Structure 1
């Protein structure tokens, strides 16, 4: 796209104004201009359009109760929380989480369903997700007619623009057009996004990256994911492609290649003993890492070695990412954090050894046990970002992907 395209520039400026109001409201037009570096004329035109469309509201601030006070109260702007309703979902191997949020991203209702979905036929998974969306919407006191957009977060490699799930440990087949499937079922525009991208935006809006426009997030779940935020926007590959960190090469030789997932993926850590007895039952219920932590605390040498190996590999991978992007903060989330002290200490030490001395103090490492609700809320944020970018005054919310 050409940056000189007037329609594109209007969309960018509208997003900038809405996001500035979201982050700093109540805020005056003058302050929006200062923070966004847009002209006061541009800000006035955009905010007038947003007011007409009902996306923002005015608040009068000042000493209006004191008749002796001079001057008129300032007109401040805030988002209208009732301007839109969206659904966000996190789909994991053993659990589905759904939220309905308002236009500000605040959760109205939350639904958690402990259902084993991995490797089920696509039709069965679609049925379960459809039921979960509908239940969560009803719990919010709404109907699907009240929902503007749905975003479903999947582990794996996702094409954001097309809604194509190229690969996912949950699905039994590759290249599934899941956005189209769910849009037709729900009759609501549906986005499919990688769960690591969703939780990255969740942390940018509400979590450990709220104060930053540039950050990196590493997710250590059933798959190893990466989210890169640059200038407040997600960095995506061609076609909106997500990044599967587990595919990162860690070494190769004449006989084999070694990828990060083979050293630090969930299956690589849990090993063969996870297929037996109580351990197998814990894995089946999605509690494999928590059970592994218990065994590590009981000095299980095999699992301790696996957690140590995984920590070293992740530490090196994070150091490589920081070397490439130089972010001020790296947020590390996911079930592997449950492995505890051995894993976290080894990861931190490996990172310090691998990071170049010249940028050793650049990035802060932050570990966060993000609840499942926040992953789903992050998916809702993906949907809201689409709405923020859409030209409401002419075409309404973001359309469904074209096929």
Structure 2
């Protein structure tokens, strides 16, 4: 029988211990063992290593100076927020947002740049991202030498393991090795992740999924994204592939089949008028959905029909996802929520009609208007998860593996 890779098991156990301390600290070793279901011997060995590396700190509960105190003070463990700093970024068609966080994921500095990057040459986009990262790091009072890792969140289909952006509405070309490009520019290990995965982890650490290890997130932005969390870990496809929900096929037969994005994507909702006048200007500034909501309130029948159709399509898609995964909660985020009650009610009604009766009460639908800083913070969480799994020594985390040379 083939045995498990011991290095992989050590990385998994190490992550489990660190993540347990993050979620429940200050916490004792015994409590870590109980929550993680690891043996006390394993927990003791891992926490001793983490203390040596400066990743966690001890805190004594009880007054060690008072001889009258009964029993020994409890030794509690907590993360060392100064152990590492990382950068997270959310890149959208008309703006970029950057954060620097500490080892606990708490934001130290934040930078938002209203810059149109959609369809710019790859080199120009990389220049803009590099400048944004450097500015945000300086604003935090740091230098790039102080940064342990960088994660950049892109819309579209991203291959996490290789750093390949297979497709994105922002990029003019497919299959861009953006992780290597930015690693070479910054001389800091750089990860590329889908923005949907980033915001999923942000909600798991800090938001609507903080109390859960299993959840689904649906992002309704320029692209329609999907994040599936199972056992506290992101579910990824081959090569760490992200899921583009907009590519989901819908219909009752090949002649009637369309992709979800053709019914519920931003372009499908806004239609041809998005190319003209104030609509085009609003979209350029990232306010297309807000303007659409105002026009819906003014009884624009074309937009009312489009928003209703989009809400129904998303509701059916969410019902299919719940049927497949049975999560206790589905968090729905993104700019399409700006369409307002008409869209949200159509989504919820379609979901209720489509979900099987046997699992109707399984999943809770939660709508959340996550600000862009939270998306960037989620990208930072992706970077932190990599550090939590990394072997450390007295000089810090081991260097990242070489990225794929695939083009």
1:281 Cα deviation after fit: 0.8
Distance 2:225 2:403 in 1: 27
Q: Could you say what secondary structure the match of 1:161 adopts?
A: coil
- TM-score, with structure 2 as normaliser: 0.97
1:398 Cα deviation after fit: 5.4
2:400 aligned residue:
399
1:391 Cα deviation after fit: 1.2
1:388 aligned residue:
388
Q: Could you say what secondary structure the match of 2:367 adopts?
A: strand
User: Residue 179 of structure 2 contacts residue 403 of structure 2 at CA under 8 Å; is this kept in 1?
Assistant: no
1:213 aligned residue:
213
Deviation larger for 210-219 or 65-74: 65-74
Unaligned runs of 5+ in 1: none
2:367 aligned residue:
367
Unaligned runs of 5+ in 2: none
User: Residue 220 of structure 2 contacts residue 334 of structure 2 at CA under 8 Å; is this kept in 1?
Assistant: yes
1:254 Cα deviation after fit: 5.5
1:397 Cα deviation after fit: 3.9
Distance 1:143 1:113 in 2: 20
1:25-80 residue CA offsets vs partner (Å, 9 max, x unmatched): 00000100110111111111000000000000000011446432111110000000
1:174 Cα deviation after fit: 0.3
User: Residue 102 of structure 2 contacts residue 108 of structure 2 at CA under 8 Å; is this kept in 1?
Assistant: yes
1:278 Cα deviation after fit: 1.1
Distance 1:355 1:398 in 2: 47
Q: Could you say what secondary structure the match of 1:110 adopts?
A: strand
- Is structure 2 residue 138 aligned with structure 1 residue 135? no
Aligned residue pairs: how many?
A: 402
1:3 Cα deviation after fit: 6.2
- TM-score, with structure 1 as normaliser: 0.98
1:63-117 residue CA offsets vs partner (Å, 9 max, x unmatched): 4464321111100000000110100000000010000000000000000000000
1:341-368 residue CA offsets vs partner (Å, 9 max, x unmatched): 0000000000000000000000000000
What pairs up with 1:45-124 in 2 under 5 angstroms?
45-64=45-64, 66-124=66-124
User: Residue 109 of structure 1 contacts residue 139 of structure 1 at CA under 8 Å; is this kept in 2?
Assistant: yes
Deviation larger for 126-135 or 384-393: 384-393
1:259 aligned residue:
259
RMSD value over aligned CA atoms? 1.3
What pairs up with 1:311-322 in 2 under 5 angstroms?
311-322=311-322
Q: Could you say what secondary structure the match of 2:222 adopts?
A: coil
1:251 Cα deviation after fit: 1.8
CA change 1:85–1:277 in 2 (3 A) is: same
